[in-house]
Amino acid sequence: MKNLFLSTVLAFVSTCVWGQFTITGTVMDEESAPLTGAVISLNDAYTYAISNREGKFSIEVNSGESATLNVDFLGYKTSERLIAKSACSDLEFLLLQDAFSISEVQVASVQLNKKTPMAFTEMNEDDLERLNFGQDLPYLLRMQPSVVTTSDAGAGIGYTGLRIRGSDATRINVTINGIPLNDSEGQGVYWVNLPDFGSSVNSVQIQRGVGTSSNGAAAFGGTVNLQTTRPDKSSYFKTSLGGGSYNTLRSNLEFSTGMIDNKWNFNGRLSKITSDGYIDRASADLSSLYLNAGLYLANTTIQAVAIKGQEKTYQSWYGTPEAVLENDQAGLENLADNVLGLDAEDRERLLNADRTFNIYEYDNQVDDYKQDHYQLHLTQIFSSALSLNVSGHYTHGAGFFEEYKKGEDLTDYGITVEDDQVSSSDIIRRRWLDNDFYGAVWALNYRKNRVNAVFGGAVNQYKGDHFGEVLWAQYAGDSDIRERYYESDATKNDYSSYLKANYDVNDNFNVFADVQGRFITYELEGTDNDLRNIQADTSWTFINPKIGASYAKGKNRFYGSFSVANREPTRGDIIDAVPGTSPKHETLNDLEIGYSYTASKFAFNANIYNMMYTNQLVLTGEVNDVGSAIRTNVDESYRRGIELIAGVNITKQLNWQVNATFSENKINKYTETIVSYQYDEAFDYLGQELLTTELTDTDISFSPNVITASDLSYTLLNKKDSKLSIGLLTKYVGEQFLDNTSNADKTIDAYLVNDAVVRYAVKNTFVKEFGISLMLNNIFSEEYSSNGYTYSYNTEIISPDNSRVNILEEQDAFYPQAPLNFLVQMDIKF
């Protein structure tokens, strides 16, 4: 963090060597007590230092006549000072407490600090703004290490997804200002419900692996902590207007009052985004509102946050069949006639489809959902050592997806008609989710001398009502409009508490310990959409310990940690489980070892991880009827790899940041299960059985062995009143298996995608800032898919003499991404 705040700086003159020189000093509070753990950094450089228990620090400057130094400490005004060679040693920094920066205490409890021995990266407001053209938040994070993003509509607007180290969204813990965002039942994050949210985020920390204890669901692949509560000192009004390919339009209004009477701040945003999408009819109509009101006193802040999102997207979750992408005419005919059983009109449409094919045509085949988040944060700083944060929250979500279904069995909807000859009907149905999530989280922070400790916890409850309605039926019989044909209610309670601490053994050696306890109860009762009775009444108790240590000397830092995480199954795991089985909770043992080197113009980090799972719920490659992934337990599995991250300031204008992940993701023993439907020679249904195949040492689905990213940026113009920069973003994602059988015929091909971004901003007497930006996505029009699914089933025809004919059907589908496309944007700030 590099905020500009006032501070008192006393400098004592001394002599420094020419060329490379070293700045030394002491960081203290207003009473001249040393501040341990302050972060000292250089502008436009990778170098940083941390003050020791006596408040002392030393930081090296490679060249130049002077250097701009920033000194940051949580809850204090940041000091920025230009240091000359002739006055660079024995400096004293007296930092003043600042209510303005108390908001950062809210996320300090869930974020890692620079001494914590775990793998993480951070993005500040400028980093996010550079890539923000209205696409969903996963696309703003796409260049981070071990990250893979997906888009159903093919262009980053609408339903998008995020994976870290091959783990999907249900295994990534996400918080907003310390408040859990993951859906309690499904444990996923639906970024489409937060349109243009990147415009309100001040900072993001992405933790890889188990990470530190947080609020909400356990992290099984990563953690994403979002902060939105940092207020602006100055008032402003900003509007952004943009658009681009596929009739994409974006409008955005932002405001901030600045600090009123040096204690009040109000800020907010209103956004509207529409797009037709790359895939046929994959349109999105998105709107959102963000409001933040804060009272900032000397040692106390109170903040109220409201986040409202509304999405209406045309469904594109069926994907594009492989036969379409491969132009396989025989495969298309088999799909149309034997798998889908299409009528003549739909059959002809499929046989003539291209990459943008969408199976849905009904004009209101939409997903329509609204989600409102309300947060109230109280932060109290008792002293330079002790602070408390308490937050209450409430989230309400309600919405449906509507479908036109042909030839549905009327008994599946509880509909009876007088004509005995009528047993099926075309139907329009809506399937609803109406839910509430509320609770409180807290954290007591202690930071003095050698100790930095947090005691925190959360109490949350979720209530969800799932139900389906029939809007219209060709043969409605005795049914009423919007009559419910299934309904289930669920309640989930989640209680957790944790204690974690860093301890400085000496100036170089730091140890870390963290233990979390979670207690979860889940009750579910009613009927599912297929009219099955579903019921669950279960509970889980988990203890999640973590330990680690780091050693830092000069430009070098070594660290290591071992963490344990446990996680309960989702609603989908329970109701989609193979008949006769129940999903087990998962356990992850995560070992991480890393090394980092930091100089003024170059930084490097290598992180080795070994994530060892028991009963991991892996994606089977199949999806249910709403496009959600189906998972199954496997006894023993692992994800092992190395992450390499480097950044270099080649010149003052040219910067290059790269990262690469090389991994192996394996299941020791996997049982492939295929349903076999049995018929007699007249094709009358006899029943079904499960066919199983035992496999060993197979690859985990959707887990590429290689992921790399390169971000090359060049600043052509960097003046006080104008700036022009260009950037080339390159992302490579290796081959991914669609299921866990290591079948080479069921893969997502590797892809290499290049994007280009150009930004120009100018300041003058009429506006605070005027900017024009351009994003070119997939500049070489790479034909690729970022996601997919597969399913298999067997048809067995049994003759009277018990002879059998087996027909195995295997189908793959993919989500093709857009070729060369563009987004352009104009920003005006008053």
Nearest-angstrom CA–CA distance, 524 and 664: 37
Are residues 86 and 118 located together in one domain of the fold? no
We report the CATH number of the domain holding residue 57 as 2.60.40.1120
Q: What is the DSSP string of 411-465?
A: GGGT---S-TT--EEEEEEEEEEEEEEEEEEEEEEEEETTEEEEEEEEEEEEEEE
Nearest-angstrom CA–CA distance, 757 and 532: 51
Tokens 């999907």 locate to: 168
The confidence score (pLDDT) of residue 776 equals: 99
Are residues 27 and 113 located together in one domain of the fold? no
In whole angstroms, how far apart are CA 473 and each of 340, 409, 415?
A: 21, 11, 10
Are residues 114 and 24 located together in one domain of the fold? no
Are residues 282 and 353 located together in one domain of the fold? no
Nearest-angstrom CA–CA distance, 584 and 633: 7
Radius of gyration of the chain (CA): 28
The confidence score (pLDDT) of residue 33 equals: 80
Structure-derived torsion over alpha carbons of residues 60, 61, 67, 68, reported in degrees to the nearest 10:
-50
Neighbours of 381 (CB within 10 A): 24
The confidence score (pLDDT) of residue 463 equals: 98
Total domains in the chain come to 4
Q: Which of these, 91, 32, 28, 94, lies nearest to 61 by C-alpha position?
A: 91
Are residues 477 and 446 located together in one domain of the fold? yes
The confidence score (pLDDT) of residue 107 equals: 58
Taking the mean position of all CA atoms in its chain, how far away is CA 60?
36
The confidence score (pLDDT) of residue 106 equals: 56
- For the chain, 830 residues long, the average pLDDT of each consecutive 10-residue run is 35 41 86 82 74 84 76 80 79 76 58 82 94 97 98 96 94 93 93 97 94 74 90 91 98 95 94 98 98 92 97 95 96 92 92 96 97 96 90 98 94 88 94 98 91 94 97 91 94 96 93 95 94 92 96 93 95 82 92 93 95 92 70 94 96 95 97 91 89 95 98 94 96 97 97 98 91 98 97 90 89 97 97
Are residues 93 and 141 located together in one domain of the fold? no
103: in domain: no
We report the CATH number of the domain holding residue 386 as 2.40.170.20
Expressed as residue numbers, the domain containing 661 is 235-319+358-829
We report the CATH number of the domain holding residue 140 as 2.170.130.10
102: in domain: no
2: in domain: no
709: in domain: yes
Are residues 53 and 153 located together in one domain of the fold? no
pTM, two decimal places: 0.89
416: in domain: yes
Are residues 267 and 304 located together in one domain of the fold? yes
582: in domain: yes
What is the helix (H) or strand (E) element at residue 73, kind and residue range?
none
Are residues 467 and 482 located together in one domain of the fold? yes
Q: Which tens digits make up the pLDDT trace of 102-153? A: 555 555 666 677 788 999 999 999 999 999 999 999 999 999 999 999 999 9
Q: Which tens digits make up the pLDDT trace of 382-408? A: 988 899 999 999 999 999 999 999 999
Are residues 548 and 400 located together in one domain of the fold? yes
CB 659 within 8 A of CB 645: yes
Are residues 18 and 60 located together in one domain of the fold? yes
Are residues 654 and 619 located together in one domain of the fold? yes
Give the residue from 227, 258, 273 where a domain finishes: 227
Nearest-angstrom CA–CA distance, 436 and 498: 25
Neighbours of 779 (CB within 10 A): 16
- Lookup: tokens for 111: 């974020």
The confidence score (pLDDT) of residue 9 equals: 33
Taking the mean position of all CA atoms in its chain, how far away is CA 380?
30
Give the residue from 69, 97, 125 where a domain finishes: 97
